[in-house]
Amino acid sequence: MQFLNPRTDFAFKKIFGSADSKDILLSFLNAILNLKSPYAIVDITIVDPYQAPKIAGLKHSYLDVKAVDENGKSYIIEMQVLNVESFEKRILYNACKGYANQISKGEDYHLLTDVIAITVTNFVLFPERSSVISKYKLRAEDGDVYCDDLELVFAELPKFELSHEQLESIVDKWLFFLKHADDLTMIPDSLSNVPEIKRAFDIANRASWTQKELEEQERYEITIQDQRGAISLAEKKAAEKGKTEGKMEGLEAVAINLLRSGMSQEQVVKMTGLNAVQVAALKP
């Protein structure tokens, strides 16, 4: 068997956001949010899994879910799988818009329900934290929670290092699936005993996809590689520019000291390799 990469936007929505994925999504949400009875989510409604969000740039990585727990409490859950960096403010903005847009002008604020934004990243977002899953709420300086209405949840896959033999909790099994599914040729025994995860593997199985879907998936994977290549090239150019600028600053500092010691501009040009115009501009 060959499994497709569940971290791409198209495959992620195929696995978690299709009409037949309700049980899979329920299992994943309860696991990553650590919700157990009597607070477990028991019902969900996917609000058009291919609906573009309110912010450009997230249209392929966004899944809007309305959820209800055992007590009848409603949630709006936004799930995102992103493959580019520097998006933290967009996530916060999108979650806040999701919260504010629940009511229209003149409607009572008590109609607002909680919004939980779940983001799965394929890169380290919080290097200062060792935990794979991080959760954030509005808090006072002393740590008291101001309100539970808005929560940001991040799962950083590179920090997850358990092997399939070490998996025990449901959340660990889901994280392993997300990180390693496309590296496997068979479903590990430690995951096959969870019906929802086994079904997720079945959906991710390349053999179950149409040719059109496989082509769409391939386009997303190419896009991801292009993004990584662009980021890598930008970092390389920035590093090279930094070296050049650093070397120039060092030469200028040497030239200034030589000029101050009484050396002529012609001598400084020969000593530093700077041109006459550059040295003249540095003359005290």
Of 12-21, 143-152, 202-211, the range with the lowest mean pLDDT is 143-152
Length of the chain: 284
**pLDDT score, position 43:** 86
Where is pLDDT greater, at 264 or 231?
Answer: 264
Report whether the peptide linkage leading into residue 284 is cis, meaning its omega lies within 30 degrees of zero: no
Residue 175 has pLDDT above 50, yes or no: yes
232: left (phi over 0), alpha (psi -120 to 50) or beta: alpha
Query: What pTM was estimated for this model as a whole?
Result: 0.70
User: Looking at this protein, which amino acid is placed at residue 21?
Assistant: S
Mean pLDDT of the chain: 78
67: left (phi over 0), alpha (psi -120 to 50) or beta: beta
Residue 197 has pLDDT above 70, yes or no: yes
Rounded distance, CA 220 to CA 204, Å?
Answer: 15
Q: Assign 237 a pLDDT band (cuts: 50, 70, 90).
A: low
- Taking a C-beta distance cutoff of 8 angstroms, is the pair 82, 50 a contact? no
Q: Assign 86 a pLDDT band (cuts: 50, 70, 90).
A: low
Rounded distance, CA 54 to CA 40, Å?
Answer: 28
Residue 177 has pLDDT above 90, yes or no: yes
Kindly state the tokens that stand for 243.
Answer: 């070296």
Q: Assign 48 a pLDDT band (cuts: 50, 70, 90).
A: low
